[in-house]
Amino acid sequence: METRILGKSGIALPVLSFGASSLGAEFRNVDVNEALQSVHTALELGMNFIDTSPFYGRGMSEVLLGIALKQHKRQDYLLGTKLGRYSLEHFDFSAKRVEESVHVSLHRLGTDYLDVLLLHDVEFVKLPQIWEETIPAVIELKKRGLVRAIGFSCYPMKTFNTVLDHVEDDIDCVLSYNQYTLQNTRFADELVPRLKTKGIGAINAGPFSARLLTNAELPVWLKEPEEVKAAARAAAKLCADQGIDIAQLALQYSCADPDITSTVAGSANPNNIAKWAKWLEQPIDQGLLDQVLALFAPVKNLGHNEGLAENN
C-alpha cells in the first residue's frame, strides 16, 4: 500500500490505516474472533498503522489489540493511541494522568513504545491546560523514548487553531475526524495549509462520516443536520443506480489527497477491511464523483458543535 511521511516525524504511514475503535464495541457488539482477525487482515493488506484509544471500549480496544499483536513482530506495525478522554464524560489532561495513561496503554498493547500519541478530544476541556501542562508532559515522554510522534485530536476548527497557536512548534501531527469527506472538507480547506507550513502531519479519520456515507441505516446518535442526511441518502442512491457503493467513492476520495498523510477507518469485520483494500486498488470514477460533489454542494462543510461552547 502507498505510504506518506507524517510531517517532520519521518514516520511513513499507509494512506489507509486501521482504526481500532470498533474493537471496543463502540458501535455494535463484536465477535472477538472476528475482531482479532480484523487486525491480522489489516496488517496483511498493508494497513500497518493502528489507531486506538483507552476511551474505545474503556480499555477493551487496547486489550484486544494487545492480544492480536502478539502474533506480529513489533517492527511490522506502527501503533498509535491517545490520552485524556476515558469515558463519555471523564476527561483528565493532567500531567500526572499523562504518565499513568501511557504506561497503562503500553501494558495493554504489549509494547514498550508508541509510534504516535495523541491528546484525545481536547475541545471538551479548558484549553490553556493543554499547552501549559499536557503537551509539556507528553514532550517529556518523547524525550524518554516512549513516544516517537506527538499531537492532538479534536473536531472544531476553532479549537485546532487555538491550540496550534501555542504548540505548533512542539508537535508532529494532528488528527481530525469526519471533516475530509465527500460532504465536509474543512480539514483540507482550512487547516492543512497551516499544517504544511510547519511540517505537521495531517491524519484524517472517519471517511464514512459515522455511516453517513454508506448504505447502512443512519445511527440515531448521528449529529449531522437533517439536510446533510437527506443529501447523503440522495448521493447513496445516485451511486447505487450506477452500480457503485457510495462507501467506495467516499474511501477513495478521502485517501486521494497527497497532503493528508493517512486516513483512518475501522471495522471489526475482516471482510470489510479486505473490501476496502480492493476499492483503493481501483481508479476513482471521476464522473460519478463530480455528480456526488454537486449533490453535496448546498450542504458542503455543514457540521455540528462538539465540546465546550467556548471552543466552537
The residue ranges of DSSP E strands in the chain, in sequence order, are: 3-5, 12-14, 16-19, 49-51, 78-83, 114-119, 147-154, 173-177, 201-205, 262-265
Place of cell 504518565: 99
CA–CA gap between residue 298 and residue 286 (Å, rounded): 20
In the residue annotation, 56 being an active-site residue is answered as yes
**Radius of gyration for the alpha carbons in the chain, expressed in angstroms and rounded:** 18
Counting Cα atoms < 13 Å in the Cβ hemisphere of 103 gives: 7
What count of other Cβ atoms lies within 10 Å of the Cβ of residue 115? 19
Cell digits of residue 89:
464524560
CA angle 33, 108, 82 (to 5 degrees): 105
| Catalytic site residue from 56, 155, 177, 180 | 56
CA–CA gap between residue 282 and residue 265 (Å, rounded): 18
Find out whether 97 and 134 touch, Cβ atoms under 8 Å.
Answer: no
Which residues have a catalytic role annotated? Answer: 56
